[in-house]
Amino acid sequence: MLSDIASFRALTDDGLVGALWRVGDSASLQAALDRVLSQPLDVQSRAARALFERRFSWVAIGRRAVEIYRRISRA
C-alpha cells in the first residue's frame, strides 16, 4: 500500500497492483487495507512480478530505450 502520488501510481499501475490511498483520508486508507487483505498473497505476488517484468525489468527498460531512440532518430 502506498500513498496516491504520481510516482507510486506508476509503480502500481495506477493501484491495480497493491493499493493506493489518499493521504489524510482514513476511509481511503481503510478501503486500501480491505482490498489488499481480501486478496490471496500469491495472487498479489504474481501480479507484482508480472508488472515488474512488463515495465521495470532490464528487458522492458531496454525495449523502451530502443523505442525512444528510434523515435528521436527519425525526427
- 45-50, Cβ contacts within 8 angstroms, sequence gap of 24 or more: 47/16, 47/17, 48/17, 48/18
Q: What is the dihedral of CA 31, 12, 14, 1, to 10 degrees?
A: 20
Instruction: Work out the average pLDDT over 56-68.
Output: 96
| Average pLDDT over all residues of the chain | 95
Instruction: Work out the average pLDDT over 46-57.
Output: 96
- Residue 75 in this model has a pLDDT that exceeds 80: no
Instruction: Work out the average pLDDT over 48-60.
Output: 96
pLDDT at 20: 97
pLDDT tens, residue by residue, 16-51: 999 999 999 999 999 999 999 999 999 999 999 999
